[in-house]
Chain A
Amino acid sequence: MAKKGTKAIVVGGGLAGAMAAIKICEAGYDVDLVALLPVKRAHSVCAQGGINAALDTLGEGDSIWEHFDDTIYGGDFLANQELPWKMVKAAPGIIAMYDRMGVPFTRTSEGRLDARRFGGTKKRRTYFSGASTGQQLEYALDEQLRRLEAGNIFGYGKLTKYEYHDFQSAILDDNQVARGIVVMNLRTMKLQVMKADAVVLATGGPGMIWGKSTNSIENHGTGAGAILAQGGHYANGEFVQIHPTTMPGTDKLRLMSESARGEGGRVWVPKDKNDKRPPETIPEKDRFYFLEEWFPAYGNLVPRDVASQNIYKICVNMGMGINGENKVYLDLTEQATGIPEKRLRYRLGAIVEIYEKFAGSNPAKKPMIIYPGIHYSMGGMWIDSNHMTALPGVFAAGEAEYQYHGANRLGANSLLSATWAGLYTGPKMVEYIEGLSSHYTETPDAVFKNELKRVEAIYDGFKKSDGRENVFQIFDEMGELMSKYVHISRNEEGLTKVGEELQKLQDRYHKIGLNDTKFDNYNLELQMAYHLGLMLNMARVIAEGARQRKESRGAHLRTDYTERNDEKFLKTTKAHLDKDNNPVIEYEDVDVKYLKPRLRNYSKNK
């Protein structure tokens, strides 16, 4: 039933991509969906705590307006306001949609949807399925995709999945309008062309650029990287969320969701820094619940930037971390919170199990040990208010774009923004396609061939290269640099240094050699060779954006410019690459049409 001669491509099977695909099929167009892994395994499954909507099922007098105000205030007024306003209005309907899809939301005794409180708000607005909400939401969309794949829904377009395929670049015609993409089929390591009239990149965040984070391994952020390399823009890259409560680890920083604090969890350190007693034996009077003391209005539920920066202050500036290390307690024991173990396991089972499995101790009995870690990118591909990037026909949605969270994202707002972005972008793509005067079917063959050849030449280079540098080694070093200099606390010296060091890595990148010379089946090293180049560009853009933003706002904390500076920096950072691949930073005014910027202060009520 597809509308003839047209088609759309969705890259990414997380909430944003899956949602966009469903909406486009619903409008009668065929969709090709490309993803690195089977859709059901997309990174969105990691989300734990829940999804926000002012549905007010618990009768607290919550409102859409308050959700909006919390979101914009929480983002330190850096978000353009038009799209977030649309998003919060849509939120209650989004919960209803997931409910109809069969998501097993946790319910009240009466059978209504239960909600819990998250950071940066006073209302219980977060809807959840235990402590694995992303999994249930992702599966709900995946199930609907499977239904579309099976076909036979009257009036709908057909969905075809291309899993184990890696997006490489957009194919732009002579007018720089997108007519398709180049992908690599990872099962054959062959490059191929896919044609369409519109493409959406819902490729998720770039957390792996920091090496260790709460993100999945698939989060290389190369969708954005490719667009940057092709002349697109990257916005607000320096705004990356550092989540206050992650498990220190050597391979990954596993998240202990904000819902732990939403359910009553408390953060503390011993008052005496030399107190070596086991934490569960330290009496109340000897504990310093610093967030509760410093921020009486919001306590443990201050927004994430504030929580992380204050944990950092306790450990690094005040030397009060556990055993002098960068660690604090997150306490869910009944003794500290009054939550019986049974309720804890019911409400937070999934994270309790992760902690038990990886740390080997029971959070109901012993306070957890946590420290802030890289978690979420507020920045992303620059898009306009139709979700289109600077390249006509290329759209972006989800964590891969920048529109919703300003300088700091509130917990449980990104399952919302990813879903909403898909819901909104799908129909915008349909609108765009319907307005086109010519379709990809009329695009000359040479356009497709040339882009394919360009990418093939890059791979031929990798295959022939016999340098001594190892791509995984450079990748690790990039992560270490970013985690050292572009993290919770930043300054001019460090940000200048990291820019130089990243350039050295770029030089070394040109001298790589591959150990894996089997080029006709899954080859992660060859894949990394391509991704690494894009990631190094992005790392430089992020670091340079941070260097040039001489203020502190939300997650961007500069020790040398400690105040927010609206006069100079109430601006979106809009970066691109010059012809030598160096970052160029420009600024764009922020649209503040509904709410005038005011200073944030979480020690008081708003």
Chain B
Amino acid sequence: MADNIRFKIKRQLSEKDNSYWEEFDVEYYETLNVISALLHIQKNPKMANGKMTTPVNWESSCLEEVCGSCTMIINGKVRQACSALIKYIIEETGSKTITLEPLSKFPVIRDLQVDRQRMFDGLKQVKAWTPLDGIFQHQEVQISAKQLTEHELEQVKLDAIIASDELIYDETTKTITGIGTYQNRDLAPQQSPKNSDMRYTLSECMTCGCCIEACPNVEKADDAFVGAAIISQARYFNAHPQGEYLKEERLEALMGDNGIGNCGNAQNCVQVCPKHIPLTESIVDMMRQTTNHALFGWFNK
């Protein structure tokens, strides 16, 4: 099959400008995906009608569905362009015409590229992080044995034997002088493999925006419902033994106007998530946590 694939692409110079459609033909080959097609168009921006135009703009980076950049609407379905193999699309639709549109719930930057900043803001709103006291690694310090405990002395001695030019160890006085690095090797509290596996599944969210696009309750506005991905990330951090310290703050952040109360349980989100994140489970769990907090939160105050 050496024929052409027809791409109908919705274009828009910027959020303020009107959108319009342009059509391009790209020669088919076995491994063609949507990004490769866009790369061909970029090199030779000639429309199907023979007229030249500007290259189409889009965002991509990893080309293996892990960076989340290239989300767009392909034949009406929200997904990543890099993993959209034309071969399979044709098998599915039986048509050699493919439409590409930008996500509709975010402002358009240019053509197929949109601005998903509100998702990152959502992560900020729910404090999606662990509250570290500090990094505690590798401050270079001048050390002498007096400052060290028995155990630390052992550690430093070990290093000193190997890197004697950095640390000088005197056997008789049992002192060490020189520059050393301070290092904290304390791990987080031990965690069950089960909890860790559950968290791993949630950690694969690449902020791609598919779930936001598919959700009937998310509007295109900065103060719209934060959406499933953010709720799931709040759960991710609440399930960590140190992340948990901010649990109440996260729950309160999810109880506001743009919070979890907006979810109508339509479950569109979970169906489109390319990372198979159990979003409905996350939502149910967080609804339970917020309800508990609303009812009994004052206990903890």
A144 to B59, CA, bound (A): 25
Chain B residues whose C-beta falls within 8 Å of the C-beta of A55 in the assembled complex: 185
Q: Is the CB–CB distance between A37 and B59 below 8 Å?
A: yes
Range of interface residues on B (Cβ < 8 Å) = 35 or more
> When A130-B200, A250-B31 are in contact, do A358 and B183 touch as well, CB less than 8 Å?
no
Judged by a CB distance under 8 angstroms, whether A71 is at the interface is no
Judged by a CB distance under 8 angstroms, whether A263 is at the interface is no
Judged by a CB distance under 8 angstroms, whether B199 is at the interface is yes
Interface stretch (choices A304-312, A517-525, A580-588): A517-525
Judged by a CB distance under 8 angstroms, whether B193 is at the interface is yes
Judged by a CB distance under 8 angstroms, whether B14 is at the interface is yes
> Which of B52, B68, B138, B139 has the most chain A CB atoms inside 10 A of its CB?
B138
> Which of B52, B67, B109 has the most chain A CB atoms inside 10 A of its CB?
B67
* Cβ contact of B200, chosen from A97, A99, A104, cutoff 8 A: A104
Judged by a CB distance under 8 angstroms, whether A488 is at the interface is no
Q: Is the CB–CB distance between A216 and B137 below 8 Å?
A: no
Q: Is the CB–CB distance between A107 and B193 below 8 Å?
A: yes
Would you list which residues of chain B between 45 and 75 have a CB under 8 Å from chain A?
45, 52-55, 57, 59-69
Q: Is the CB–CB distance between B83 and A358 below 8 Å?
A: yes
* Cβ contact of A90, chosen from B129, B138, B206, cutoff 8 A: B138
Interface stretch (choices A270-278, A468-476, A558-566): A468-476
Chain A residues whose C-beta falls within 8 Å of the C-beta of B291 in the assembled complex: none
* Cβ contact of A109, chosen from B52, B193, B207, cutoff 8 A: B193
A593 to B166, CA, bound (A): 12
Judged by a CB distance under 8 angstroms, whether B18 is at the interface is no
Q: Is the CB–CB distance between A187 and B199 below 8 Å?
A: no
A94 to B136, CA, bound (A): 10
Which residue of chain B is the closest to A135 with respect to CB atoms? B66
Chain A residues whose C-beta falls within 8 Å of the C-beta of B29 in the assembled complex: 250
Judged by a CB distance under 8 angstroms, whether A283 is at the interface is no
Q: Is the CB–CB distance between B55 and A251 below 8 Å?
A: no
Which residue of chain B is the closest to A471 with respect to CB atoms? B43
A472 to B55, CA, bound (A): 11
Chain A residues whose C-beta falls within 8 Å of the C-beta of B45 in the assembled complex: 515-516
> When A23-B135, A216-B62 are in contact, do A100 and B43 touch as well, CB less than 8 Å?
no
Chain B residues whose C-beta falls within 8 Å of the C-beta of A92 in the assembled complex: 183, 185
Would you list which residues of chain A between 71 and 95 have a CB under 8 Å from chain B?
85-86, 89-90, 92-95
CB distance from B258 to the nearest CB of A (A): 17
* Cβ contact of A96, chosen from B64, B113, B186, cutoff 8 A: B186
* Cβ contact of B196, chosen from A41, A106, A147, cutoff 8 A: A106
Q: Is the CB–CB distance between B130 and A101 below 8 Å?
A: yes
Q: Is the CB–CB distance between B120 and A38 below 8 Å?
A: yes
Q: Is the CB–CB distance between A251 and B123 below 8 Å?
A: no
Q: Is the CB–CB distance between B61 and A43 below 8 Å?
A: yes
A528 to B216, CA, bound (A): 39
Chain A residues whose C-beta falls within 8 Å of the C-beta of B127 in the assembled complex: 147, 150
Range of interface residues on A (Cβ < 8 Å) = 35 or more
Chain B residues whose C-beta falls within 8 Å of the C-beta of A255 in the assembled complex: 64
Chain A residues whose C-beta falls within 8 Å of the C-beta of B60 in the assembled complex: 217
Chain B residues whose C-beta falls within 8 Å of the C-beta of A517 in the assembled complex: 54
Q: Is the CB–CB distance between A144 and B132 below 8 Å?
A: yes
> When A38-B120, A111-B191, A427-B139 are in contact, do A146 and B61 touch as well, CB less than 8 Å?
no
CB distance from A467 to the nearest CB of B (A): 16
Q: Is the CB–CB distance between A150 and B124 below 8 Å?
A: yes
Q: Is the CB–CB distance between A217 and B138 below 8 Å?
A: no
Q: Is the CB–CB distance between A472 and B42 below 8 Å?
A: yes
Would you list which residues of chain A between 464 and 494 have a CB under 8 Å from chain B?
470, 472-473, 476
A86 to B132, CA, bound (A): 24
Would you list which residues of chain B between 181 and 223 have a CB under 8 Å from chain A?
181, 183-188, 190-193, 196-197, 199-200, 203-204, 206-207
Q: Is the CB–CB distance between A108 and B62 below 8 Å?
A: no
A103 to B60, CA, bound (A): 25
Judged by a CB distance under 8 angstroms, whether A357 is at the interface is yes
Chain B residues whose C-beta falls within 8 Å of the C-beta of A476 in the assembled complex: 43
Judged by a CB distance under 8 angstroms, whether B128 is at the interface is yes
The majority secondary structure among interface residues of chain B is loop
A202 to B66, CA, bound (A): 21
CB distance from B219 to the nearest CB of A (A): 22
A445 to B177, CA, bound (A): 47
Chain A residues whose C-beta falls within 8 Å of the C-beta of B197 in the assembled complex: 104, 106
Q: Is the CB–CB distance between B63 and A470 below 8 Å?
A: no
Interface bits A96-138 vs B (CB < 8 Å: 1, else 0): 1101111111111111110000000000000001101001100
* Cβ contact of A100, chosen from B14, B85, B130, cutoff 8 A: B130
Which residue of chain A is the closest to B80 with respect to CB atoms? A357
Q: Is the CB–CB distance between B186 and A146 below 8 Å?
A: no
Chain B residues whose C-beta falls within 8 Å of the C-beta of A26 in the assembled complex: 134-135
Chain B residues whose C-beta falls within 8 Å of the C-beta of A294 in the assembled complex: none
CB distance from A589 to the nearest CB of B (A): 17
CB distance from B101 to the nearest CB of A (A): 17
Judged by a CB distance under 8 angstroms, whether B171 is at the interface is no
Interface bits A394-436 vs B (CB < 8 Å: 1, else 0): 0000000000000000000000000010011001000000000
Would you list which residues of chain A between 281 and 300 have a CB under 8 Å from chain B?
none
A275 to B279, CA, bound (A): 47
> Which of A41, A110, A420 has the most chain B CB atoms inside 10 A of its CB?
A41
> When A40-B120, A135-B203, A516-B55 are in contact, do A100 and B186 touch as well, CB less than 8 Å?
yes
A216 to B243, CA, bound (A): 31
A525 to B111, CA, bound (A): 14
Judged by a CB distance under 8 angstroms, whether A239 is at the interface is no
Q: Is the CB–CB distance between B57 and A101 below 8 Å?
A: no
Interface bits A176-199 vs B (CB < 8 Å: 1, else 0): 000000000001000000000000
Would you list which residues of chain A between 221 and 252 have a CB under 8 Å from chain B?
249-252
Would you list which residues of chain B between 18 and 55 have a CB under 8 Å from chain A?
29, 31-33, 35-36, 39, 42-45, 52-55
A135 to B110, CA, bound (A): 27
Chain B residues whose C-beta falls within 8 Å of the C-beta of A64 in the assembled complex: 159, 162
Q: Is the CB–CB distance between A129 and B200 below 8 Å?
A: yes
Judged by a CB distance under 8 angstroms, whether A218 is at the interface is yes
> When A101-B132, A522-B113 are in contact, do A46 and B183 touch as well, CB less than 8 Å?
no
* Cβ contact of A106, chosen from B65, B132, B200, cutoff 8 A: B200
Q: Is the CB–CB distance between B193 and A108 below 8 Å?
A: yes
CB distance from B165 to the nearest CB of A (A): 7
Q: Is the CB–CB distance between B64 and A424 below 8 Å?
A: no
Which residue of chain A is the closest to B57 with respect to CB atoms? A522
Q: Is the CB–CB distance between A102 and B242 below 8 Å?
A: yes
Chain A residues whose C-beta falls within 8 Å of the C-beta of B67 in the assembled complex: 37, 41-43, 45-46, 216
CB distance from A253 to the nearest CB of B (A): 10
Judged by a CB distance under 8 angstroms, whether B163 is at the interface is yes
A92 to B181, CA, bound (A): 13
Judged by a CB distance under 8 angstroms, whether B225 is at the interface is no
Chain A residues whose C-beta falls within 8 Å of the C-beta of B55 in the assembled complex: 515-516, 524-525
Chain B residues whose C-beta falls within 8 Å of the C-beta of A250 in the assembled complex: 29, 31-32, 36
Q: Is the CB–CB distance between A104 and B203 below 8 Å?
A: yes
Which residue of chain A is the closest to B180 with respect to CB atoms? A89
A360 to B62, CA, bound (A): 19
Q: Is the CB–CB distance between B237 and A187 below 8 Å?
A: no
A389 to B184, CA, bound (A): 29
Chain B residues whose C-beta falls within 8 Å of the C-beta of A96 in the assembled complex: 184-187
CB distance from B11 to the nearest CB of A (A): 11
Would you list which residues of chain B between 212 and 262 have a CB under 8 Å from chain A?
237, 240, 242-243
Would you list which residues of chain A between 31 and 49 have a CB under 8 Å from chain B?
37-38, 40-43, 45-46
A143 to B120, CA, bound (A): 10
A249 to B33, CA, bound (A): 11
Q: Is the CB–CB distance between B13 and A86 below 8 Å?
A: no
Q: Is the CB–CB distance between A102 and B204 below 8 Å?
A: no
Q: Is the CB–CB distance between B159 and A89 below 8 Å?
A: yes
Which residue of chain A is the closest to B276 with respect to CB atoms? A353
Interface CB pairs A-B, < 8 A, 13: A26-B134, A40-B206, A65-B162, A90-B138, A107-B192, A132-B66, A216-B62, A354-B65, A358-B31, A515-B54, A522-B57, A525-B42, A594-B162
A-B pairs, top 6 by smallest CB distance, nearest first, are A93-B183, A143-B129, A104-B199, A104-B200, A41-B67, A472-B43
